[in-house]
Amino acid sequence: MSLPVLEDENDPRDWEIRAWVTLVRVYGRVERRLAKALGAYGLSVAQFDVLATLLHGEGITQQELSERLLVTKGNVVGLVDRVSAAGWIERRPDPDDRRVNRLYLTDAGRALLRKALPGQHASLKSALRPLLEAELKQIHTLLKRVDDALPDTE
Amino acid sequence: MSLPVLEDENDPRDWEIRAWVTLVRVYGRVERRLAKALGAYGLSVAQFDVLATLLHGEGITQQELSERLLVTKGNVVGLVDRVSAAGWIERRPDPDDRRVNRLYLTDAGRALLRKALPGQHASLKSALRPLLEAELKQIHTLLKRVDDALPDTE
DNA sequence: TATTGTTATACTCTATAACTATA
DNA sequence: TATAGTTATAGAGTATAACAATA
């Protein structure tokens, strides 16, 4: 989870650290809630991410999926194995390049998403309820700036 | 990691989702950098968290550690096993309650922190460099509000 | 030669739940 | 009865690296 949590007003640590500690804490706690809700559908967070990524871009390759999910292509193999074994996605060989698999949602996968997505959205809205829309935008804008500035040495 | 990343301006998703997706992405990428730096010292992020938590509160119990790290006490056992096997912390029986272990850094653990902490801080500062201090405070304030509002049903 | 995907290895973290010893 | 810690189980994710097929 990273870095200790303590919140006294005289905390001498830099604001980078305080912001990061809080972010990590929120990430962990919210992620856990989302994961628990997904568990009811037999989905892990990583597996849900696969489905949700495909929802917005069917036909991507495993390579592309690994870039979106920020995991190695080796790990994507196992992930895709598990999700396709469950019948939610399928690999289809690319007709033009026989090295490539392209990934598609099955009807079952689409149906599962239709069931699982509303709950995820609701959990998220509930967790972030203390923030006004302008504040959500603010967080998005600031963190997007950080994301864009991170070199993609990964 | 949770929820797909795509950034087009007409993205119809709610700001909760956009903020969350960005937060998750930043979390993942920065965490990975921090983890890589810790790897040079033979530390995982969770293990570093143990050491850093003890630095700010030596003598806590395993139970207390599990609450700070947001993991179950069962998992803390293994975590403490590994970190103490490496010689960085030690369990000392509580003299007043024989059920309790209290945790302390060893000299080696303190020395390791002295080596590892500056790099962690530097990585963090580097990653968050695009943000002004006021913006870091803003993120801290907003996310703290979210954290405080989350019910601790975990 | 470079790329896509696969396989193999080994470790860490996680959740869950039953168990013990103490209180 | 309740609490602190332990053990056991099983699954999931991760990194790393070598490999096959294809380009």
pLDDT digits 0-9 by tens, A114-124:
999 999 999 99
> Is pLDDT larger for residue A12 or for residue B141?
B141
Strand C nucleotides where any atom sits below 7 Å of a protein CB: 3-8, 12-18, 21-23
The answer to whether A61 CB sits below 7 Å from nucleic acid chain C is yes
The length of chain B, given as a count of residues: 154
Question: How many helices and strands (H and E) does chain B possess?
Answer: 6, 2
Chains A, B: CB pairs < 8 Å: 187
* Sequence-ordered strand ranges (E) for B22-108: 89-93, 101-105
Could you tell me what percent of chain B has a pLDDT over 90? Answer: 82
Contact B140 A19 (CB under 8 A): yes
CA distance B38 to chain A (A): 11
pLDDT band at A148 (very low <50, low <70, confident <90, very high): very high
Q: Which has the minimum average pLDDT: A49-63, A100-114, B11-25, B102-116?
A: B11-25
Give nearest nucleotide to A48 (CA–C1').
D12
Highest mean pLDDT of the ranges B11-15, B133-137, B147-151 = B133-137
What is the C-alpha end-to-end distance of chain B, expressed in Å? 19
pLDDT given at position A153: 62
pLDDT at B13 over 90: no
> Is pLDDT larger for residue A154 or for residue A97?
A97
Give nearest nucleotide to B63 (CA–C1').
D4
pLDDT band at A151 (very low <50, low <70, confident <90, very high): confident
Element at B126 (helix H, strand E): helix B107-127
pLDDT given at position B10: 52
DSSP A61: B
Per-residue exposure over B7-30, b if at least 16 CB sit within 10 Å of its own CB, e if not: eeeeeeeebbbbbbbbbbbbbbbb
- Residue A117 CA to its chain's centroid (Å): 13
Which among A21, A135, A143 has a CA at the least distance from the CA of B128? A143
pTM confidence score: 0.90
pLDDT given at position A7: 47
* Residue to test with chain B: of A49, A137, A143, A145, most B Cβ within 10 A: A143
pLDDT given at position A10: 53
Contact A29 B53 (CB under 8 A): no
Give nearest nucleotide to B1 (CA–C1').
D13
Residue type, B5: V
CA nearest to nucleotide C15 C1': residue: B72
Q: Which has the minimum average pLDDT: A89-93, A96-100, A142-146, B36-40?
A: B36-40
CA of B70 to C1' of D9 (A): 21
